[in-house]
Copies of this chain bind each other. A is one copy, B any other.
Amino acid sequence: VEVGARERLIEYLAHMHPADVADLLEQIEEPRRVRLVELWGPDLNGDVLTELEEGVRDTVLATLTPKQLSEAVQELDTDDVVYLVEDLDEPQQEAVLDALDDADRVAVEQSLTYPEYTAGRLMQREMVTAPVHWTVGDVIDYMRASDDLPEQFYDIIIVDPAMHPVGEVRLGKVMAHPRSVKLDTLMEQDFRTIPVDQRQEDVAYAFNQYHMIQAPVVNADGRLVGIVTIDDAMDVLEDEAEEDMKLLAGVGDEEISDSTMAIVQRRFPWLLVNLITAIIASIVISLFSSTIEAIVALAVLMPIVASMGGNAATQTLTVAVRALATRDLTGSNAMRIVRRELVAGTINGAAFAVIMAVVGIIWFGNPMLGVVLAIAMVGNLAVAGLAGILVPIGLDRAGADPALASGTFVTTVTDVVGFLLFLGLASALLL
């Protein structure tokens, strides 16, 4: 970014989609990022802020003057403002809220009273409602007269006088009927409402499962308080899948734009947990030191048994975590899936037992070593199947995220069982 090129820069950025501008800001390094924002500040589009990753957003917000910030947020829908301010410090939050007009401010403050990660935080207040006695013509007249229609809405929500939603009409349907038709003859009555305190992953699940585009959000009294639109649900859905993937691998909510020291700090605790579990496995090995001293081939072969178990467990685990997230693994099929994993692990274990026995015999010319390898392989792959399915189900039942640290926990099980079986059998049969 050359100094003096402000005009050209603004021209260029103005033609980019806010999401692409956000990506650009994320990809450049911090000093250049700050300079870009300083140059561009007065013309910054509020939508760019909502597209930024948290770490980068903090830098950008800190760079903007209060005036620039307030101008940027005025254009946003209330759900985007909520998303933006929920992670801010008190004084910055106050500055943003002050920039809003009164109605929006009340709406945002109201949303912030709902717990984080619930429908109340996702929803927007901008929506179109109509009383049940209106006709198509009434809606059209109302929309033509209104100068503040929401940017995004796909259904008109039909409400009773107490603001309870009683139906929904697709815009396309309203337009396809004559002015005299009453809305209640067009409306869908079995629509889904979302409780304002519903967890966001449940909201996203409903959108995905039922192919919803928009859904009314109701409070504890069943009164309409906002709508959730599919773009917000899509974001949540993607975040949840990403979160599972990262939890499985033992990385927290790290972003590619994080600094070196940030990722060092984020990864250290997970590696520490892994170190502890690795030491546990080592203690198991140390119990058999004299056996290994006598037959050094055991030291050569033992990582194979452990590695195969860890791999098989990770396979099962990943499928299970995913199936729990998509609600395809439930109480009604859990027992069957557990049985299936145990059987599948045993069958693959048997196949690799044969292969490994042959490898052991050829490599070390010791048939009994082949037998030990084979038994350890079957046993560890069966255990891998069981651990891979029981650990995530157990965590889920306990109310924890099934992906949380299951990888480390499950591979500890297969390491310990693998070393114990292989070295234990070797001590019994080969010495």
Contact = CB atoms under 8 A, between A and B. Distances in A.
B171 A322 contact: no
A318 B246 contact: yes
Contact of A237 (B238, B245, B351): B238
A27 interface: yes
B267 A337 contact: no
A282 B359 CA distance: 12
Interface in A324-343: 327-330, 332-333, 336-337, 340, 343
A181 to B, nearest CB: 10
A140 interface: yes
B154 A176 contact: no
Contact of A248 (B144, B245, B255): B245
A62 interface: no
A71 interface: no
Nearest to A241: B241
Interface in A206-239: 207-211, 213, 230-231, 234-235, 237-238
Contacts of A317: 249
A419 to B, nearest CB: 8
Contacts of A279: 304, 359
Interface string A392-410: 0000000000000001100
Interface in A240-288: 241-242, 244-246, 248-251, 254-257, 259-261, 263-264, 267-268, 270-271, 274-275, 277-279, 281-282, 285-286
A249 B392 CA distance: 15
Given A249-B314, A278-B308, A337-B256, A348 B267 contact: yes
